[in-house]
Structure 1
Amino acid sequence: MTSTVPSSSPGPSSGSDSTAGRTEGPILVVEDLTVTFPTEDGPVSAVQGLSYSVEMGKTLGIVGESGSGKSVSSMAVLGLHDAKSSKITGSIRIDGTEVVGLSENRFRKLRGNTVSMIFQDALAALHPFYKIGAQLAEAYQVHHPDASDRDARRKAIEMLDRVGIPQPDSRVDDFPHQFSGGMRQRAMIAMGLINDPSLLIADEPTTALDVTVQAQILDLLQDLQREFNSAVIIITHDLGVIAETADDVLVMYAGRCVEYGTTKEILTHPEMPYTWGLLSSIPDISASTDARLIPIPGNPPSLFSPPTGCAFHPRCGFKDKVPGRLCYDKMPELAPGSGRIEHLKRCHLANPDAIYRAEVLPEIAPDLVEEIR
């Protein structure tokens, strides 16, 4: 997957000073990214040939099961892989700066400033021995060395207030264990945005939160994105989250992109059987009480010995619709879908959209068969 993946359309300019030095075009451009880890059993390619770009003010959703390479690829963007225990090839450009091979000292100037990340487990990401405010202030002073302790504390309180922490003047002195799960996640968002980054990566930002708090966190991210005009990447396995937040969707399986398009296009006209499986696994609150979820059969492949041909073929119920042994022997290219603009799919099926509407959609959402054409 190289330059065939289109970038998101440009978002509106915020006009703030923080955007003055930014280059034209996408804030993030990833091209042919491969991340390999050496092991005693041989090299493991966790990400292979991945390309995408993200514009300012837009949200890209990266979706897939555990082990698909979502977090590994984003950690490469932030330079968080140990150079001694990983090999990264390809290109990653953040605001025009090539970061593959960048020294750690130079990367620190970007990390937390131009690009920031909200980690999946807020309790593990926050240091238990330091107060919330001290950790926020440190994140601010690293990139604003001239700021006094008083200024940094004031900034920490301001950010806690922005993300909806009640009584931020006093809660700033609490330890992480004194915050609820939702409040810790809000504190992580405050830390991620404290330096007004151009790009914010949210790795499973609603994991382990109840549905009400999940909705609040997603609404908060969208509100803050509009305020800061940041580009956002949301990593998740939940297409429901993607439907609410993302402009574009990148579906990953076994370290590769298997489908890419606008959110509306992917949710209404998916063309990769793996994406069909993800959609089939979403609970339908309008279904009868006897209805059962339709899981994807089998397990994700081992990256030590991935299947030949299409990596999804051992779990795919539609491979027999492809002539010969094409699915077993040849990896499909990432190619345009059924005549739709900016929709790419990695599948040998000749007319997947027709198969989806005729065979998959009536089973998972019969009420939408007539609506989706």
Structure 2
Amino acid sequence: MNDPDAFLVVEDLSVEFPTPDGPVRAVNNLSYTLGLGQTLGIVGESGSGKSVSSMAVLGLHDADRTKITGSIRVGGTEVVGLNEPGLRKLRGNSVAMIFQDALAALHPFYRVGSQLAEAYQVHHPSASRRDARRKAIEMLDRVGIPQPDSRVDDFPHQFSGGMRQRAMIAMGLINDPSLLIADEPTTALDVTVQAQILDLLQDLQREFNSAVVIITHDLGVIAEMADEVLVMYAGRCVEYGPTKEILVSPEMPYTWGLLSSIPDVSADIDARLIPIPGNPPSLLSPPSGCSFHPRCAHVDKVPGDLCATQLPELLEGSNGPGHVKRCHLANPQEVFRREVLAEIAPDLVEES
């Protein structure tokens, strides 16, 4: 988690939005690192700070209306406080982002190929319009758009949802960035198209050796793609570690809740999902202590009112170095196996 030589280094990042009702602290003291060729999955409910933290990496927040503290280094360049010309040079070149809604991200009045060509020419000013168009066709072909020579002149509304997402990936990769941030890249796509998009991202990552941050609610996507997982809640990291450890031996009750909410195709047809009770907290007035404690079913296992009064530190868990969790529970693995795993996957408990 603390590799100063990584391509992306985020240290103590906080993002605050002033509002008439008070400050909204969307991200609180977030730290993580990511090396080239590696994939980090960021998971959590809506409003947990996933997209806000990633938009900060590209400097996309309005500097006049946002208070950002901490450090974000992309390839050694400090992003926090960087001027607009520096940010423009960084965006699309060293780091690119695939946005959640491709139809909203692509301009409806311009042809898809023109938008890709513009993204290329911004960082290759010596390239002619013909060269940029040729590059746009090449990228559309690379991401699997059929008949790219003719589809390059289509408008976004003439593409299907899956094709628009592929076009967004082509735009993100047209300048061979070292860091690619994918914000819910498979939202609103059918299952087969989702699989194709994920396979495409993995193939392109291997080709370009890019570092990839994938933001998603889908832990199935995380299991397939991510090397490490960052679990966020109320703007904070609550658990972080290798994907297998997070999915098999999680140590934070919020992560347990996310896992319990996943449908199990091998379960009985009468089996019920186990949702996390309540709603995510308001970031205008978050709960004291552990932000998750009003929704946590395990508060009674912690002595006194520690959960309600003291914010847990992010400490190394039972799985060893590299896996950290923010929780006051003294024996989280035992509780997980005895209560959570026994309910959502009793066969695993019996086998062990």
TM range (shorter): over 0.9
Which aligned runs of 4 or more in structure 1 are off by greater than 4 angstroms?
none
The yes-or-no answer on 1:175 pairing with 2:155 is yes
Secondary structure at 2:103 match in 1 = helix
Contact 1:56 1:231 in 2 (8 A): yes
The yes-or-no answer on 1:116 pairing with 2:86 is no
Q: Which runs of 5+ in 1 are unaligned?
A: 8-23
Residue aligning to 2:83: 103
Residue aligning to 2:299: 319
Superposition pairs of residues 2-81 of structure 1, within 5 angstroms:
5-7=1-3, 25-81=5-61
Q: Distance in 2 between matches of 1:43 and 1:304?
A: 6
Q: Distance in 1 between matches of 2:96 and 2:32?
A: 18
Q: Distance in 2 between matches of 1:366 and 1:156?
A: 52
How many residue pairs end up in the alignment?
A: 352
Contact 1:69 1:254 in 2 (8 A): yes
The yes-or-no answer on 1:236 pairing with 2:190 is no
TM superposition shift of 1:341:
2.1
Contact 1:6 1:342 in 2 (8 A): no
Deviation per CA, 1:46-101: give whole Å up to 9, x if none.
Answer: 00000001000000000000000000000000000001110000000010011110
Q: Distance in 2 between matches of 1:332 and 1:370?
A: 32
Q: Distance in 1 between matches of 2:70 and 2:17?
A: 15
Residue aligning to 1:285: 265
Secondary structure at 1:258 match in 2 = strand
Residue aligning to 1:17: none
Secondary structure at 1:159 match in 2 = helix
TM-score by length of 2: 0.99
Residue aligning to 2:194: 214
TM superposition shift of 1:339:
4.7
Q: CA RMSD of the aligned region, Å?
A: 1.0
Sequence identity, in percent? 81
TM superposition shift of 1:25:
2.4
Residue aligning to 2:277: 297
Superposition pairs of residues 142-161 of structure 1, within 5 angstroms:
142-161=122-141
Contact 1:262 1:343 in 2 (8 A): yes
Q: Distance in 2 between matches of 1:340 and 1:76?
A: 30
TM superposition shift of 1:370:
4.6
Deviation per CA, 1:202-228: give whole Å up to 9, x if none.
Answer: 000000001111111011000000000
Q: Distance in 2 between matches of 1:140 and 1:283?
A: 42
TM superposition shift of 1:369:
2.0
Structure 1 pair 157–322 and aligned structure 2 pair: CA distance change class (3 A): same
